[in-house]
Structure 1
């Protein structure tokens, strides 16, 4: 299945399956072009940016797996997975969420364009508006764990419907962000594109310092983040991330031996 063609004016893209994940192997420029080309009036859909942790989540959560398989655009967020795929002769592309968010605000979103942000602290969103001169930002911050509270989910969906925007930035981690976007799709009342971006806005506004460029270039952002917050992130990177990397390395060997193909 190619999920881009029936719901966008953007040209259909090949899909790659790697480490149990689904990728549109786009560069940053190609991904920004895809986002800019999608009409704002189309029914609501999702951008996801899988990394190694997503492989673990998809194996453990059937709902998350279904959502990931149907998202309008799915671009690679992991240099580590990209290097693992290259061992099997496959290029996953690289268009991580934090980079896409920055490029959108720098190149695509005008100061007076309506944008909607779900999640994140009010002061962080205010920083974002100041940095880019944004004048039409709507922000709703649901309670922690709201995805399990139907009334809180309903309130957040209603907010998105009442504040139509070309881009809806969902500033919370997986799988909650993806599940919330799926609830919006099922509701059927919203337009625009939901971007499941995790902590990208806090990084963009300087609230969370980015990794040094030399670590970024070598795929060591995970190590930088782990060193800063070991108690919170050790399981993400040392358990879930390594699980996803292991699946990827197995796939790379299978590609080299001709036992399977990366094309969906």
Structure 2
């Protein structure tokens, strides 16, 4: 974490727009099933492993595993320790009430905010509006909180157009932990790799398929990767 934060903070605010992705098991399984979205991750300025479960499984099958840097922890570290209250910040996503709580809890006073409607990635006009909002509201840090792969699609398009500056962080629900909208698992639960079980218990209707049906495919993918490296 300290090394990652140091790299993010050291990046000049006026540098061409780049973005950070924090893939977890769900993302990696989706990439395997939908190869068309892989460039969204390959072209990121920085890729960070967000899953202790993937790290543990990777080590079990003999893969070299990078350090885990959860997007939620990274977001909290930046907001609480690196971003001054009067620094401009851009946020894509969050309902107005959640944004108000974010301001109240963090003290951030200069937030440029746009919350695109559900399904905006399939509406050319709404997608263009999201991209243009980031271009027109430059900030050292832009938080893209509209879910995967939508947030990566927006960030990738911003990079392609080459008009924006700063750094985008594709961080999903991370801001909701800071607002109190969602609760993080206790630290001991996080450290043993069971945060997914905690989140499932909090919101089973939304997360049951992701964690119990889709994500277990990561086991086969990691085994396949390990075999290909030995071949």
Structure 1 length-normalised TM: 0.83
2:85 paired residue number: 111
- Name the structure with the higher helix share: 2
Counterpart secondary structure, 1:39: coil
Alpha-carbon offset, residue 37 of structure 1:
1.2
Which whole-Å deviations, capped at 9, do the CAs of 1:176-232 have from their partners, x for residues lacking one?
110111121122211111111111011122110111222111100111111222221
Counterpart secondary structure, 2:168: strand
Which whole-Å deviations, capped at 9, do the CAs of 1:32-55 have from their partners, x for residues lacking one?
111111111111111000111112
Q: Is the 8 A contact 1:47 1:195 kept in 2?
A: yes
2:208 paired residue number: 234
* Runs of 4+ residues over 6 Å off in structure 1: none
Alpha-carbon offset, residue 91 of structure 1:
3.0
1:19 paired residue number: none
Gaps of 5+ in 2: none
**2:230 is equivalent to residue 259 of structure 1:** yes
Counterpart secondary structure, 1:166: strand
Alpha-carbon offset, residue 89 of structure 1:
5.5
Structure 2 length-normalised TM: 0.94
**2:30 is equivalent to residue 57 of structure 1:** yes
**2:145 is equivalent to residue 171 of structure 1:** yes
Counterpart secondary structure, 2:139: coil
Q: Is the 8 A contact 1:55 1:243 kept in 2?
A: no
State the alpha-carbon separation in 2 of the partners of residues 127 and 171 from structure 1: 15
Number of residue pairs matched by the alignment: 230
1:194-233 pair list within 5 angstroms: 194-233=168-207
Gaps of 5+ in 1: 1-27
Which residue of 90, 94, 103 maps to 2:64?
90
Which residue of 33, 41, 55 maps to 2:14?
41
Cα RMSD of the aligned pairs, angstroms, is 1.6
Q: Is the 8 A contact 2:29 2:214 kept in 1?
A: yes
